[in-house]
């Protein structure tokens, strides 16, 4: 199983260099740099943050896990931005996409929350067609046909989007049991659609290590999600000790996860080393 790490994009510390973080993560053997996405929150915009990371690295993948795709209302411009990042990074971009469940993000973006599914479908159709064109809106992505798409969610619509446009599925950070519960349905949908091979399954985990880890993790998640069942489940599934990280990584690998992205909350670059050491690197 590949192991990725999140960029420090939430409530960003201006003294913390994304470029230095990205270089260090690559040097420690992480396979992916991940980003999360909210509009109504103090965080870096995902594609912009990944562009900074791309310029500082040469091998590590650049993954939105996830990007709230329907908020990108100009679909042709979104496709152009993604193709540009894929081209400039040498084909390292992976787009994890989902509609999101927070109405405030859509209200702030001037978009109808209840039409986000239709907006998402329209974006996918436009972007994938644009990436396949040989003459039209450029640049051409480095990856033939466009960056790999990982679709989030486990509704019927989410699985339809995955088998139509995606190369795999990305799970929310609610723990390995949640991953185990939904992964078989993802594989079954893939096979039922007649897709060759198997979908790439990616998991995500919230974590924090070092002094005050549990407090930092809880505070960060409560701020980010604000309230509700999702917040509680995310906090319960969060990891705040090396032993918990090692156990969860092994459990995800046993469950058939292809890549697990660890998202540190709080702290500085030492989180990269602490997580690497927790998994025995």
Measured over the CA atoms of residue 112, residue 116, residue 121 and residue 126, the dihedral's sign is positive
Residue 48, CA atoms < 13 Å, CB-side half-sphere: 5
Measured over the CA atoms of residue 175, residue 1, residue 189 and residue 119, the dihedral's sign is positive
Print pLDDT tens along the chain (281 aa): 999 999 999 999 999 999 999 999 999 999 999 999 999 999 999 999 999 999 999 999 999 999 999 999 999 999 999 999 999 999 999 999 999 999 999 999 999 999 999 999 999 999 999 999 988 999 999 999 999 999 999 899 999 999 999 999 999 999 999 999 999 999 999 999 999 999 999 999 999 999 999 999 999 999 998 766 777 888 899 999 999 999 999 999 999 999 999 999 999 999 999 999 999 99
The SS3 assignment for 75 reads helix
Please state, in angstroms and as integers, the Cα–Cα distance from residue 43 to each residue in 9, 32, 214, following that order: 5, 19, 21
The SS3 assignment for 6 reads strand
- Residue linked to tokens 């998994």: 279
At 227 the pLDDT is: 66
- Two tokens, residue 24: 């260090």
For residue 87, the 8-state DSSP code is H
The domains of the chain, with CATH numbers, are 2-278 (3.20.20.30)
The SS3 assignment for 135 reads coil
Secondary structure (H, E, C), 167-179: CEEECCCCCHHHH
At 232 the pLDDT is: 81
Nearest CA to 97 out of 144, 28, 147, 24 is that of: 147
Residues 141, 95: Cα–Cα separation, whole Å: 13
Query: Helix-strand-coil percent breakdown of the chain, rounded to 5?
Result: 50, 15, 35
């Amino acid at each position: 199983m590949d192991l990725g790490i999140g960029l420090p994009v939430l409530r960003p510390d201006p003294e913390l260099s994304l470029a230095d973080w990205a270089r260090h993560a690559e040097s420690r053997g992480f396979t992916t740099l991940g980003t999360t996405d909210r509009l109504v929150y103090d965080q870096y915009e995902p594609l912009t943050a990944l562009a900074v990371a791309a310029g500082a690295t040469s091998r590590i993948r650049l993954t939105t896990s996830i990007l709230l795709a329907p908020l990108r209302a100009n679909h042709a411009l979104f496709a152009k931005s993604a193709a540009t990042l894929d081209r400039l990074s040498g084909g390292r971009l992976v787009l994890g996409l989902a509609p999101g469940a927070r109405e405030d993000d859509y209200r702030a973006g001037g978009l109808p929350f209840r039409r986000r599914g239709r907006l998402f479908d329209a974006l996918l159709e436009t972007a994938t067609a644009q990436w396949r064109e040989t003459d039209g809106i450029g640049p051409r992505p480095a990856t033939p046909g466009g960056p790999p798409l990982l679709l989030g969610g486990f509704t019927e619509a989410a699985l339809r989007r995955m088998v139509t446009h995606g190369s795999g599925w990305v799970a929310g950070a609610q723990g390995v049991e949640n991953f185990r519960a939904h992964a078989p349905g993802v594989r079954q949908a893939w096979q039922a659609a007649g897709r060759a091979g198997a979908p790439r399954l990616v998991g995500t985990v919230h974590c924090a290590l070092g002094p005050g880890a549990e407090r930092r993790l809880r505070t960060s998640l409560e701020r980010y999600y604000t309230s509700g069942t999702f917040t509680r489940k995310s906090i319960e599934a969060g990891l705040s000790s090396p032993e918990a990280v090692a156990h969860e990584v092994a459990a995800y690998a046993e469950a058939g996860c292809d890549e697990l992205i660890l998202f540190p909350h709080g702290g500085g670059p030492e989180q990269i080393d602490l997580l690497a050491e927790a998994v025995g690197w």
